[in-house]
Amino acid sequence: MIDKSTLKKLAMFGLVGFTGMIIDYAATAFLKEVLEANKYLANTTGFVLAASSNYFINRKWTFKSSNPKIGKEYTGFIAIAIVGLLLNNSIIWILSDYLFSLNFYLSKFVAISIVFIWNFVMNNFFNFKHRKT
């Protein structure tokens, strides 16, 4: 069972993630459609921009972190995001190119939804976990 505090963080993480999704989709669409970049390069760039903005917002708002080791915390957040990126690209590939022929953006939406759960669990229970000294 998930406690109220975790549910509140999940909702806040989701709101931050929604802003990240807008950044992600906007950057991806601009690179892919306007600049005609490779869809995986565009996807990776959008994902990295969103992950970086999400870190700073989640650090202050969702997790209220006061960890003085911001470099270590950011590195942990980005490491989790990189695994998420690998999952994201793999899911897109499976859905749009390998097993199915789903639309790229529909595949990306499914990937973002799955990776959202991965990111929250890893950040809430590991990266931003308050440790008693």
> Three-class SS of residue 103?
coil
Does residue 7 belong to any structural domain of this protein? no
pLDDT band at 43 (very low <50, low <70, confident <90, very high): confident
pLDDT at 131: 54
Q: What DSSP assignment string belongs to 35-51?
A: S---HHHHHHHHHHHHH
* Rg of the chain taking only CA atoms, in angstroms: 15
Q: What is the pTM of this model?
A: 0.76
What is the average pLDDT across 46-60? 92
Q: Is residue 4 part of a domain?
A: no
- The answer to whether position 46 is within a domain reads yes
Number of domains in the chain: 1
In a domain, 119, yes or no: yes
pLDDT at 133 over 60: no
Domain that holds residue 83: 12-25+38-127
Alpha-carbon span 20 to 87, nearest angstrom: 17
Residue 31 lies in a domain: no
Residue 48 lies in a domain: yes
Q: Which of 36, 17, 40, 21 is nearest to 92 (CA)?
A: 40
Q: Is residue 69 domain-resident?
A: yes
**H helix runs in the chain, sequence order:** 4-29, 39-57, 70-93, 104-122
**Tens digits of residue pLDDT in 73-131:** 999 999 998 899 899 999 999 999 998 899 999 998 999 889 989 999 999 999 998 65
In the prediction, which pLDDT does 15 show? 97
Indicate whether 133 belongs to any domain: no
